[in-house]
Amino acid sequence: MPRGAIATVIVGLIATLGVIALDIRGGSGSAVEIEWDTVEAVKTPEPVKLGSSGSLGLARTSIAAITPITSGQLLFRIAGIVRIDSGKGSLPTGARCDITSPAADSRIALTPGLRAAWPRPSLELQEQEVPEASVAMFKARGADALFLPIRDVFQRFTDSAAPTDVDWDGFEEQTQNWVWTLPEGSGDGAATLGYAVIFRTVEKPRATIRCSGSVGGDEKVVEVKAVQQEWPLETPATEEPGDPEDEAATVTE
């Protein structure tokens, strides 16, 4: 089995076992599946030219959120796809996206032991499956963890058959990044690369999306501001006590 596939399977097992542990510790109802209370499209610019005949662009970009618990905390997601086309030939191609939530209190939410960000690092991105739902450690709706939609944005992390790996470059509490490497180019046409990250905050959801692409020696950057338009969101009547990080492992990578 390819190393990337093995790594993906291991990560999936860790997440699944973490959720099972939640159920054992917290009893029934410690994990619940819900929908995002609001999903808004984020306007993105036209693709930019990259190299002699390639391009870089963003699409299907959205900001989604759940209503705050009465303490004011909420979760929100930034998700979308990067389209990078290396053009004719098979020049080494790369892409990078940094998603930053600038509010002082914002930080990336957690899954059991990992950041709530997808895709995970992988040597063979094609082998990594999009989960049925994204899980975030957050005390709400009578549960310790929430299962939230992710396949509403993309069904695959890449639609390209060209060799592709993805990595996370370091750790910052307020910024999630992905670095994609396509050593033989994007293949036949553009490669579509999906991403999603969940933040927790007490402020109006907002983030900066900064993506760069390179083909050969040419590099271009596209930047977008994502701001929740419907605000304030209605707050539930019942208080949800406690902090989800009291029972979640601290992420340091």
pLDDT per residue as tens, the chain (253 positions): 344 444 443 444 444 444 444 443 444 448 999 999 999 999 999 999 999 999 999 999 999 999 999 899 999 999 999 999 999 888 999 999 999 999 999 999 999 889 999 999 999 999 999 999 999 999 999 899 999 999 999 999 999 999 999 999 999 999 999 999 999 999 999 999 999 999 999 999 999 999 999 998 899 999 999 999 999 998 654 545 444 443 333 343 4
Q: Are 40 and 230 in contact (CB under 8 A)?
A: yes
d(Cα 161, Cα 203) in Å, to the nearest integer? 41
CA-based nearest residue to 43, from 181, 227, 215, 206? 227
Burial bucket for residue 5 (CB in 10 Å: 0-12, 13-18, 19+): middle
Residue 237 burial (CB count, 10 A)? 6
Task: Determine if the peptide bond prior to 121 is cis (ω within 30°).
Answer: no
Distance of CA 22 to the CA centre of its chain: 22
Instruction: Give the predicted TM-score (pTM) of the model.
Output: 0.84
β-strands 31-33, 143-148 pairing = parallel
The pLDDT value recorded for residue 113 is: 83
Beta bridge partner(s), residue 32: 146
